[in-house]
Amino acid sequence: MEHQLVLVLDFGGQYNQLIARRVRECSVYCEVIPYHTPLHEIERRAPIGIIFTGGPNSVFAGEAPSVDPKIFELGIPVLGLCYGCQLMAQLLGGSVCSAEVKEFGKTETQFDFQSPLFKGLPVSGITWMSHNDYIDRLPAGFQSVAHTKGCPVAAMECKERRLYGMQYHPEVNHTENGVAMLRNFLYEVCGAKGDWTMGDYAKRSIETIRAQVGDGRVLLALSGGVDSSVAAALISKAVGNQLTCIFVDHGLMRKNEGDEVEAAFGGGDLNFIRINARDRFLGKLAGVEEPERKRKIIGEEFIRVFEEEAKKIGAVDFLAQGTIYPDVIESGTGDAAVIKSHHNVGGLPDYVDFKEIIEPLRLLFKDEVRRLGLELGLPDYLVWRQPFPGPGLAIRVIGEITEEKLEILRDADFIFREEIAKAGLDRDIHQYFAVITNMRSVGVMGDGRTYDYTLALRGVTTTDFMTADWARIPYEVLDRVSVRIINEVRHINRIVYDITSKPPATIEWE
């Protein structure tokens, strides 16, 4: 069955996939495509609407990304966001120039309730702005339908031609009713029917994987985490036992985790192989302190293990991974900055000895992956597991990794997780773990002096893991954790709780 489609034209903005994700949240299928996609290709796809994203350029600067103005004559509704809105204004004969008052962040905004964009919504509210330029003259036939103190055209429309623009970003959470505005564009302007669901995504992915793999063989990197478990379910539905899952026990897993993963996935219908690669990982990491170097070493070593296993199985063309969108964006793709090299994206070596890499979740956010997992019938406990990064405890032992520090961390982390679960907080706190810092300090235990490690506890609440707040864990729980760790784990004499959000910090310490 064919679905209605919305195309997002990517002009290099920060939130492009977020726009797509919001549209999908409104039950409309959506894809992001480059801004220079030929017009006939766009027409061929017959979208019910087109959205232009924001972007770092100024429309009036030379070489600014643009589109064929005939796009406005296709009779397809267009919504321009930020740069996209400015571009639409300029191409249709309005003018854009550098604003005297630049707006960044939360901005009080007034809306014209007669515009379909704001149907059923309050006449004023907060929007999220991020612009240097502004529309100082509207194109003929357009009117301004929202304004702020500093910006006369915070939104514009030409109802007859079904062309709309917003200077702010409705896709980010900080814009009040932002999703409702996008929904209005989709349902009030484009005539969306809401015919797309996670079930459809699953069906579609299974078909795509089947077509891509043919009668080839796939090796899936399976960690036992949410993402790769969902990928395993999807790929195994697509190609059955042409799939082999490889779990690499790199000696950087949490307490008992290797055996738990084996118990969960081994012995069933899945071709499952556990590789003990502890010595080679720890060997390569010996003496390394710098976080990015650790990540690159781990990324490379993972791939070498997969390649070796593929050779043993013979004729494996495809490597599959449970990569999701935040892994991709933080590793720095396109114009985005490198925050940290996720081992499965930015940490990949230049040469990978597989014909193709399959990443069916690459465009999804974590909560979408979870919904997909439920759709595929995975058990609740698996779908709601907290994430655990591929490089494992390597990025939670700050500085040099030693067996001793790993041991201390495993025991401390286990107690923390146990107490959080006992307190019934394991669903409310989305990720929580211990970090062994590279700092030692003086303490007194049993009337004697100690000089031992400081342990940090981290707990965050988040939905997409792109931004996060530190979790308000009750003091009594923190207290129990602290007392138990100090008493039960040697070489820790001080415990701190991390109270920074993301940004400015990240969730992991390295």
Ligand X SMILES: O=c1[nH]c(=O)c2[nH+]cn([C@@H]3O[C@H](COP(=O)(O)O)[C@@H](O)[C@H]3O)c2[nH]1
Binding-site annotation: residue ranges for ATP = 223-229
Q: Nearest to Mg ion by Cβ — which residue? A: 225
Query: Among candidates 292, 218, 297, which has minimal Cα distance to 252?
Result: 297
Pick from 3, 32, 33, 58: which binds ligand GLN (CB under 6 A)?
58
57-65, 387-395, 466-474, 488-496 -> range binding Mg ion (CB under 5 A): 387-395
Binding status of residue 255 toward ligand X by CB under 6 A: no
Residues 411-450 that bind ligand X (CB under 6 A): 431
- Contact in structure between 62 and 149 (CB atoms under 8 Å): no
Give 187: exposed, middle or buried? Use CB within 10 Å, 0-12, 13-18, 19+: middle
Q: Which does 132 bind (CB under 5 to 8 A by kind): Mg ion, ligand ATP, ligand GLN, none?
A: ligand GLN
Among residues 26, 30, 82, 158, the one annotated as catalytic is: 82
> What's the token pair of residue 70?
């005939």
Beta strands in 204-281 (DSSP E): 217-221, 243-249, 271-276
Does the annotation mark 85 as catalytic?
Answer: no
82 part of the interface to ligand GLN, by CB under 6 A:
yes
Q: Among 370, 369, 332, which Cα is nearest to 348's?
A: 332
Q: What is the maximal distance between C-alpha atoms in the chain? A: 83
Residue 375 amino acid letter = E
Q: Does 55 bind ligand GLN (CB under 6 A)?
A: yes
Residue 272 β-bridge partners: 245
* Binder of ligand GLN out of 36, 43, 46, 56 (CB under 6 A): 56
- Give least dist CB 344 to ligand X, A: 6
CA distance 225 to 323: 11
Q: What are phi and psi of 454, to 5 degrees?
A: -95, 130
Size of the site for ligand ATP (CB under 6 A): 21
Site track for ligand ATP across 245-284, x = CB under 6 A: -xxx-x----------------------------------
Q: Does 225 engage in binding with Mg ion (CB under 5 A)?
A: yes
Which stretch, 106-114, 131-139, 282-290, 493-501, contacts ligand GLN (CB under 6 A)? 131-139
Residue 388 sits in the site that holds Mg ion (CB under 5 A): yes
Closest C-alpha to 35, from 2, 64, 76, 60: 64
Q: Is 135 in the site for ligand GLN (CB under 6 A)?
A: no
Q: Which one of ligand GLN, ligand X, ligand ATP, none interacts with residue 228, CB within 5 to 8 A by kind?
A: ligand ATP
Among 391, 457, 485, 492, binds ligand X (CB under 6 A): 391
Locate 421 and state its tokens. 């679960």
Q: Rounded distance, CA 248 to CA 387, Å?
A: 17
The reply to whether 388 sits near ligand ATP by the rule CB under 6 A is yes
* Distance in angstroms (rounded) separating the CA atoms of residues 288 and 292: 10
| Segment interacting with ligand X (CB under 6 A) among 3-11, 108-116, 370-378, 500-508 | 500-508
Establish if 373 lies at the interface with ligand X (CB under 6 A): no
Distances (CA, A) of 380 to 15, 93, 254: 30, 54, 21
Q: Give the containing element (helix H, strand E) for 408.
A: helix 403-422
Please select the residue that binds ligand ATP; options are 389, 396, 430, 431, rule is CB under 6 A: 389
268 vs 233: CA distance, rounded Å: 13
Cα distance between residue 285 and residue 139, in whole Å: 60
Per CB under 5 A, 223 contacts Mg ion: yes
Q: Please say if 308 is a catalytic residue.
A: no
465 touching ligand X, by CB under 6 A: yes
Query: What is the C-alpha to C-alpha distance for residues 231 and 238, in angstroms, rounded to an integer?
Result: 11
Q: Does 219 bind ligand ATP (CB under 6 A)?
A: no
Nearest approach, Cβ of residue 277 and ligand ATP (Å): 9
Helix axes 198-213, 366-375, angle to 10 degrees: 80
Question: Is residue 134 involved in binding Mg ion (CB under 5 A)?
Answer: no
Note if 151 is an active site residue.
Answer: no
The answer to whether residue 306 forms part of the interface with Mg ion (CB under 5 A) is: no
In terms of DSSP H, where are the helices of 27-138?
Answer: 39-45, 83-91
**12 vs 216 by CB, closer to ligand GLN:** 12
The single residue of 103, 131, 151, 169 carrying the catalytic annotation is 169
Q: Is 435 exposed, middle or buried (0-12, 13-18, 19+ CB in 10 A)?
A: buried
Catalytic residue selected from 85, 103, 158, 171 = 171
d(CA 169, CA 83): 10
Q: Does 83 bind ligand GLN (CB under 6 A)?
A: yes
Q: What is the closest distance, in whole angstroms, from the C-beta atom of residue 468 to Mg ion in the complex?
A: 16
What does each C-alpha distance from 367 to 130, 294, 373 come to in angstroms?
26, 28, 10
Binding of ligand X by 330 (CB under 6 A): yes
Q: Return the residues of window 170-209 that contact Mg ion according to CB under 5 A.
A: none
Is there binding between residue 508 and ligand X (CB under 6 A)?
yes
Residues in contact with ligand X by CB under 6 A are: 295, 326-327, 330, 340, 342-344, 387, 389-391, 431, 465, 502, 506-508
Residues in contact with ligand ATP by CB under 6 A are: 221-223, 225-228, 246-248, 250, 321-323, 327, 344, 385, 387-390
- Residues marked as catalytic: 82, 169, 171
Residues in contact with ligand GLN by CB under 6 A are: 13, 54-58, 82-83, 130-133
